């Protein structure tokens, strides 16, 4: 009768020929450290990334930069609220540190100006849409008041027709500015890939 092997013994037999590659493990860890550094940088941009980049061994520097780049490029997006502008600006400074090309800094400065315009236009669109829809909303409120026999006040976002109208207009505005975001991301990827 043959010997019954444990799951551990079977696993060890199957992975016997697999050897750990110290270099690829170091690269993976450097990339993960880069992602963590990027997140810490976004939380507190005063520290900067240059010091960490200088301290990193040359053989791990590319992987560290890749990790930082991967984490920060996701932050290049249209802001949902005005507070997002600071985070997006910090992401640009971090990207500039790993890209190192002055053309990116100039492009990102224009991008930040575009973000400010976007936030301003978003507020204007919001007010204009609500103002344009106000007569229709008052009409619905009056109709409900007549039906129910008591005063009714509607929040515009409770009305599905308004929500559809609002989203249609706001999405048109977002689409206009999304091209700018895509251009900055593409340029960042291109400049980061250059030696």
Q: Return the DSSP state at 2.
A: P
Compute φ and ψ for 13, nearest 5 degrees. Answer: -65, -45
Task: Give the residue among 174, 135, 186 at the shortest CA–CA distance from 156.
Answer: 135
Q: What is the pLDDT of residue 189?
A: 93
pLDDT at 170: 94
- CB count, 10 Å around CB of 117? 12
pTM: 0.76
pLDDT score at 49: 83
Positions of the chain with pLDDT lower than 50, given as ranges = none
pLDDT of residue 10: 75
- The sign of the torsion formed by the CA atoms of 103, 109, 113, 116 equals positive
pLDDT score for 171:
94
What pLDDT is recorded for position 90? Answer: 92
């Amino acid at each position: 009768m043959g010997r019954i092997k444990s799951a551990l013994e079977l696993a060890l037999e199957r992975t016997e020929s697999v050897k750990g590659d110290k270099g690829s493990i170091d690269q993976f860890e450097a990339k993960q450290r880069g992602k963590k550094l990027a997140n810490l940088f976004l939380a507190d941009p005063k520290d900067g990334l240059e010091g960490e980049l200088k301290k990193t061994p040359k053989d791990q520097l590319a992987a560290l930069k890749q990790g930082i780049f991967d984490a920060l490029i996701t932050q290049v997006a249209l802001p949902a609220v005005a507070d997002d502008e600071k985070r997006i600006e910090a992401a640009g400074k971090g990207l500039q540190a790993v890209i190192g090309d002055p053309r990116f800094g100039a492009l990102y400065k224009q991008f930040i100006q575009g973000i400010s315009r976007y936030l301003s236009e978003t507020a204007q669109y919001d007010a204009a849409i609500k103002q344009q829809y106000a007569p229709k909303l008052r009409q619905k409120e009056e109709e409900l008041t007549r039906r129910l026999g008591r005063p009714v006040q509607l929040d515009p976002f409770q009305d599905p027709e308004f929500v559809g109208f609002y989203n249609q207009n706001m999405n048109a505005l977002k689409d206009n500015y999304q091209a700018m975001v895509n251009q900055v991301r593409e340029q960042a990827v291109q400049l980061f890939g250059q030696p």
